[in-house]
Structure 1
Amino acid sequence: MTEKESKHLYALVGKNISYSFSRGYFTEKFEKLDLKDHKYINFDIDSIHELPQKIKDNKKRLKGMNVTIPYKLEVFNFLDRIDKKARKVGAVNTIRISKKGRLKGFNTDVYGFKKSLKPLLKKYHKRALILGTGGASKAVAFVLEELEIKYKQVSRNPEGKKQISYQDLTEEMINTHQLIINCTPLGTHPNINNCPDIPYELISEKHLLYDLIYNPSETTFLKRGKEKGASVKNGLEMLELQAEKAWKIWNEK
């Protein structure tokens, strides 16, 4: 079935997203469910201002969208309604389109991250470091607050009380923050040798390193943590969980 013939169209909104998890995941899902009139494509755009035209071009068929970096925050201005939780988080990664063409934003990253993180937590995981300050980090911070885990965000350009710089990562800071979550794109394929600039020599077997990246399955960040005996987790399960949650939202009556 060609793109023009697909009655139910879904899309990922992002920039430089040829590697996209979402397109492959949903294409496979549609095949398994024998949904021949469903198709998932990429809206690979250089500016969020190109989005209205993309929607207009596919108006009758477009049922829902996922949103990835760098547009999880910028997309707010193009929505008719925003779910309460997404508004609290401050980032949208899922959009449902009503029959009247109205756009409502949701955040399913919160669901995916929380469900995949919880089974890994130990009683001593009381404090966390969030590496990065983009849209995904907002969902991570929201979940940590729900789980009553205190956190600091690590940024190259820190702002406010909850943000620190990479230079602030002292031995004491690493020892007392035993959950470290990478929300930066550092280490994503093809630049697999890159990793956040943290003192890996201070990582211990009590640390849990979680990387939102899924390609490669073991980033340099996770590999270096594992070498020190830390527990590690990549972002694949989170992505699968949030994708299923998005599918549920798109199909709500």
Structure 2
Amino acid sequence: MKTFGLIGYPLSKSFSQKYFTEKFEKETIKARYLNFPIASIDEFPELINHHPYIGGLNVTIPYKEKVIQYLDDLDPISKEAGAVNVIKVDWTNPTKPKLIGYNSDIIGFSKSIEPLLKSNHKKALILGTGGAAKAVGYALKSLNIDYKLVSRTPEGDNQISYHSLNEAIMNEYTVIVNTTPLGMYGNMEAKPEIPYHYCGENHLFYDLVYNPEVTAFLKAGQDQGAAIKNGLEMLHLQAEAAWEIWNK
């Protein structure tokens, strides 16, 4: 049976396994989808060696950047973005599979946010600096939206600190994207520390978190009159894009 799976840590709240299991049942596809929680990315080569039937993998927190060192090739988009969330495993050579990295997060995010964008949405703040933030940044760039990354410990010209977010910046950057895990089920009261009171109806709040449906971050934006969107549609879109990558 063809096997696909997800690497990350922890994986107790995995969306992917449920989604693909239901997809396989509905479409009568002879395949299975397994979770592979690995506490360290150093375990990745051994995982591949022990499972020579894997056709493809999804990658989630915290390995979207760290896994790249173990891949044989990257498609141009994931190479430029610097993050991978899909791995195609090519077993043409049965003794040594070829691992190719892709990024379907970019596809999912772009298609999900584009219908919500208005003429005043010219600049964005991306909360967080991990692999998901890199994918969001690439997508925003392709949509002609300038962005800055917001970090607790900013590095480089395109990163700013949470403490530097003032009224002028919040008025200028009207798209706010949360790529951190703050607000996920289990810690639902948490939200990024930004000055929500400077936001209003010109703002669009997008949270990659999808459980709960309305996170504390989205609720704070909604209370100020901002449009809001969670990450569930993005997950569906990126999952279908991953399936196409594995089967092309």
Where on the TM-score scale, by shorter chain, does this alignment land: which range? over 0.9
Aligned to 1:31: 25
Choose which of 172, 195, 208 in structure 1 pairs with 2:168.
Answer: 172
Q: Which runs of 5+ in 1 are unaligned?
A: 1-6
Aligned to 2:70: 78
Choose which of 23, 29, 43 in structure 1 pairs with 2:36.
Answer: 43
CA RMSD of aligned residues (A): 0.8
3-state SS in 2 of match to 1:246: helix
Matches within 5 A, 1:95-106: 95-99=87-91, 100=93, 101-106=97-102
Aligned to 2:137: 141
Aligned to 1:67: 59
Task: Report the AA paired with residue 246 of structure 1.
Answer: A
Distance 1:250 1:145 in 2: 26
Matches within 5 A, 1:122-201: 122-201=118-197
Report the CA distance between 1:152 and its aligned residue.
Answer: 1.1
Choose which of 47, 50, 54 in structure 1 pairs with 2:47.
Answer: 54
Task: Report the AA paired with residue 68 of structure 1.
Answer: T
Aligned to 2:104: 108
Provide the aligned length of Structure 1 versus Structure 2: 244
Choose which of 221, 234, 241 in structure 2 pairs with 1:225.
Answer: 221
Distance 2:158 2:47 in 1: 37
Distance 2:148 2:101 in 1: 27
Distance 1:147 1:248 in 2: 23
Distance 1:106 1:128 in 2: 24
Choose which of 56, 71, 82 in structure 2 pairs with 1:90.
Answer: 82
Give structure 1 regions of 4+ aligned residues with deviation exceeding 3 angstroms.
none
Percent identity between the aligned chains? 52
Q: Which runs of 5+ in 2 are unaligned?
A: none
Choose which of 222, 232, 251 in structure 1 pairs with 2:247.
Answer: 251
What CA deviation, in whole Å up to 9, does each residue of 1:16-45 have, x standing for no partner? 11100000100110010112x311011101
Task: Report the AA paired with residue 196 of structure 2.
Answer: Y
Report the CA distance between 1:201 and its aligned residue.
Answer: 1.2
TM-score by length of 2: 0.97
Matches within 5 A, 1:205-220: 205-220=201-216
TM-score by length of 1: 0.95
Report the CA distance between 1:209 and its aligned residue.
Answer: 0.1
Distance 2:11 2:197 in 1: 34
